[in-house]
Amino acid sequence: MKNSAYLITLLAAALLLVVYNRVSSAPDENPVAQSTATATIDDIMTRTSVRTYSDRKVDSLTVDTLLRAAMAAPTAGNKQPWRFVVITDTTSLNFIADNFGSMKMAAEAQVAVIMCGDVTSTFEGEGREYWVQDVSAATENLLLAAHASGLGAVWCGIYPISERVEKFSSHLSLPDNIIPMACVCIGYPAAETTPKDKWNPEYVHFNSWK
């Protein structure tokens, strides 16, 4: 009888020890999730604009991954107004470089993605311009995915500069409802780049503007 009581006590103590260890280690139970979170923050903080590229090709599978990441962006009312024109031919890349001074890096890029918005796939009235926010979110997703994939990329603005919009629309034969918002030039970096620390606590306000 005494042996049975002793055994029960021992088992109870062991059970309590197991429960304690599980509770105390709960924050660390999923190291994969923690590692992923750390990697995500690192990609955000180390991403920077890359304007010089090597001649290494960017394969179609990688481009597909970037586009999937872009389409995972948030979108007002789930309208998903984003549309993409992927440019890989030298003629069009040179056209971009030759016609837009801030986009000369397109001549070295392996790929350029023209981030467009379909104004028939957005809200009517005052909410019409939400497409700009949606496509901007998709653009940032694409930039982060490129950086995480070892690529370099730079966001070059098109919209709302009417001359740029008209030239891109004409060259790409875009229908009237498709507006080019940005050109993202992509390639493997030709050199290392150093991200800028843009943190400024003076830009942050809590609860009201003070």
Name the CATH superfamily for 49-187: NADH Oxidase (3.40.109.10)
Is the pLDDT reported for residue 203 higher than 60? yes
First to last CA, the chain: 74
Give the pLDDT mean for 61-82.
Answer: 99
Three-state secondary structure of 85-114: EEECCHHHHHHHHHHCHHHHHHHCCCEEEE
Give the pLDDT mean for 46-71.
Answer: 98
**Which parts of the chain are beta strand (E)?**
82-87, 111-118, 152-157, 178-187
Is the pLDDT reported for residue 46 higher than 60? yes
CB 154 within 8 A of CB 184: yes
Q: Can you give the pLDDT at residue 24?
A: 47
Question: Which tokens go with 79?
Answer: 């309208």
Q: Where are the domains of the chain?
A: 49-187
- Region class of 198: left (phi > 0), else alpha (psi between -120 and 50), else beta: alpha
CA angle 85–87–88, rounded 5-degree value: 150
Residue 131, number of CB atoms within 10 A of its CB: 27
DSSP, collapsed to helix, strand or coil, labels residue 72 as: coil
Is the pLDDT reported for residue 1 higher than 70? no
Q: Can you give the pLDDT at residue 4?
A: 56
Model confidence pLDDT, tens digit, residues 77-117: 999 999 999 999 999 999 999 999 999 999 999 999 999 99
Q: Can you give the pLDDT at residue 183?
A: 99
Q: Can you give the pLDDT at residue 5?
A: 53
Q: Can you give the pLDDT at residue 124?
A: 95
Is the pLDDT reported for residue 17 higher than 60? no
DSSP, collapsed to helix, strand or coil, labels residue 207 as: coil
Q: What percent of the chain has pLDDT over 90?
A: 82
Task: Give the H or E element holding residue 19.
Answer: helix 2-24
Question: From CA 56, how far away is CA 104, in angstroms rounded?
Answer: 18
| pLDDT bracket for residue 34 (50, 70, 90) | confident
**Which of 139, 119, 115, 137 is closest to 127 using CA atoms?**
119
Q: Can you give the pLDDT at residue 23?
A: 42
Contacts of 43 (CB under 8 A, 6+ apart): 144, 147, 148
Q: Can you give the pLDDT at residue 28?
A: 53
Contacts of 132 (CB under 8 A, 6+ apart): 117, 159, 181
Model confidence pLDDT, tens digit, residues 144-199: 999 999 999 999 999 999 999 999 999 999 999 999 999 999 999 999 999 999 99
Is the pLDDT reported for residue 39 higher than 80? yes
